[in-house]
Amino acid sequence: MKWFIILVILFNYAHASRRWVDLSWARIKEASAYDIQLNKVLKSGEQELYLEERLSENKWSKQIPPGKYYFRIRGVDFRDVPGAWSEFNFLDIRLPKPVYINPLADDSLKGVSEFEENVSFEWKRVEGANLYFLEVWNDEGFEKTIYTRETQHSFLLKVADGYKWRVISLIAKEDKIQSRQGEGVKFFLQGAPLETPKVSHEFIGEDKSKVKLKWTRPKYTTGFEYQLYQLGLNQKWTILDESDFYTQEKLVFDSDKLQGEFRLALRAIGDGRAASPYAFVEFGVNGSDLTVHSIRSQLTNELKKDNPFFYSYGIEQTFIDYYGESREKDTIVETTFKGQRYFLEASYQDFYSLWKHRVGFYYTNVSNVEYSAQLKEFHYLLGRAKVVYDVPLEYAAGLFYKDDLFIIGDRFSDELSFETVSTSGPVFMVTPYYRFNRSIDLGGEAKLFVHLLTHDTPNDEEVNTSFSYYLKAYLTYKYRDNETYTGFAGYYVNQISYKASTDGDSVADEGAENIAESSGFSFGLRVNKFF
């Protein structure tokens, strides 16, 4: 019986010692069954019958231990008469790929040596494997290979270079090694961290009005990363200048425009090698030389002590002009009242990123002759401080929750009802300041609130999107290094509107809106503490 066989061979992982083998071939019209014979290749090279089965279909599926096999197939007609065997076909059932442990894809290994580093390659054991083929190479022609029975091996590799590696499970050393064909786990081996630059500074010019900062260039350095800070009156560092890749070995800036304490934080960077630890120098302008660390370098974690935690508390007196329209009652309320605002704020600034986290809680009691209400406000802001056109300023954004006053009048009883409207949304802040001298700061603050989400209204209707803002000018006096006092005056405008209800005894027209607008000024005092 002559016939043509088409084979589709699929290997699927079943468990560690066996693999699924799926075979299929072209159907033969005369055949009602098929015989399959599978021979295993022994270590001696001889073949041994592994199995022989009769099948009712033109396909076969079985879990087979990894190894080398030869198989053949023949058809059987309805009389149970077999046809001729096909030629033997080679079947190489390979072991599954090992699971890699170290290094993993895209790992960046940190070395401690300047030239070469021992890198350990590790993988999980594969059941049925007698040995493993480990191969490490790169695009520059480097290659190292080894046959090993262990699941770990180390190679000495050149640092500051990228590599690929793979490991193949084998039954015998004679097993064919397949070509790479883009295979391999990529990783990068960094060199030891660069040495820390030695930083110094000097005042130059006839009037000593300029500061020259200079530093050494360690071996393998391709550039430098630096931040120049100024210490504010609030004991927080503000970025004056920064660069993430600076190639020169000096920096000069005009000290006439600025005064106070300054710090340069600098580290060397290089291709394929870890950046050096930070070195820094501190100095004073228009005062005594405050150089503290110009020769000895400091590690990043040692600089965390320069991370002040800040909190403040205080009281603010407000005077408010209020205008409100209640469409349900068909009344307009115009009045003036005052309020006492108590607040507690706290902030933390990360030294190197200079991100400031600010949290504030405010409690306000507002009243006129007969009526009063209590209002709460909470906000969280994330921002930074930077010098723009020689003006230091802090900019931040975050979220707020606040209560706003809504007064409802009754035309028949002439009584007022002090209600609240609770909203939340984003808040934005900009705070410029000017350092008048070492003890006094002058500054301002602008906040913009966007009322987006509604939490409570007198009639449970949604608040329309609206804006409120608060402007403040302040003067801060430095009493001691960890304590300052701030006096301030402010002006604010608040606008709230929401849909009027037409239910019950409401006289509002469909689509009418209730409106509350308030504006006023305030003054207050706050105490600031630093740690």
User: Are 149 and 259 in a shared domain?
Assistant: no
Beta bridge partners of 172: none
The pLDDT, as a whole number, for residue 156 is: 92
- Provide the phi-psi class of 272: left if phi over 0, else alpha when psi is between -120 and 50, else beta: left
Domain total in the chain: 4
In a domain, 4, yes or no: no
The pLDDT, as a whole number, for residue 202 is: 80
Highest mean pLDDT among 12-26, 134-148, 174-188, 387-401: 134-148
Q: What is the CA radius of gyration of the chain?
A: 39
Residue 243 sits in a domain whose CATH number is 2.60.40.10
User: Are 474 and 438 in a shared domain?
Assistant: yes
For residues 363 and 403, give the distance between their C-alpha atoms in angstroms, rounded to a whole number. Answer: 10
User: Are 88 and 108 in a shared domain?
Assistant: no
In a domain, 1, yes or no: no
Angle at 78 between CA 76 and CA 83, to 5 degrees: 25
Is the predicted pLDDT of residue 422 greater than 90, yes or no? yes
Looking at per-residue pLDDT, the higher value among 155 and 354 belongs to: 155
| Domain boundary residue, one of 93, 108, 137 | 93
Is the predicted pLDDT of residue 242 greater than 60, yes or no? yes
The stretch 315-332 carries a mean pLDDT of: 89
DSSP string over 160-194: SEEEEEEEEEESSTTSPPPP-TT--EEEEE-BPPP
The pLDDT, as a whole number, for residue 405 is: 87
Segment holding 137, helix H or strand E? strand 131-137
| Domain boundary residue, one of 155, 189, 223 | 189
Q: How many residues does the chain have?
A: 531
| Domain boundary residue, one of 138, 161, 189 | 189
Average pLDDT, the chain: 83
Q: Is residue 510 a contact partner of residue 477, using CB atoms and an 8 Å limit?
A: no
User: Are 109 and 169 in a shared domain?
Assistant: yes
In a domain, 259, yes or no: yes
User: Are 19 and 104 in a shared domain?
Assistant: no
pTM (2 decimals)? 0.52
Question: For 49-82, how does the pLDDT look when each residue is reduced to its tens digit (9 = 90+)?
Answer: 988 999 889 888 888 888 788 999 998 888 888 8
User: Are 176 and 319 in a shared domain?
Assistant: no
User: Are 319 and 463 in a shared domain?
Assistant: yes
Beta bridge partners of 36: 53, 73
User: Are 183 and 205 in a shared domain?
Assistant: no
Cα within 13 Å of Cα(380), Cβ side: 2
354 — pLDDT class (breaks 50, 70, 90) = low
In a domain, 194, yes or no: no
User: Are 323 and 248 in a shared domain?
Assistant: no
Q: Which of 484, 514, 486, 483 has its CA nearest to residue 501?
A: 514
The stretch 468-477 carries a mean pLDDT of: 93
In a domain, 165, yes or no: yes
User: Are 497 and 356 in a shared domain?
Assistant: yes
In a domain, 518, yes or no: yes
In a domain, 328, yes or no: yes
User: Are 314 and 256 in a shared domain?
Assistant: no
Range of the domain at 233: 199-304
The pLDDT, as a whole number, for residue 501 is: 84
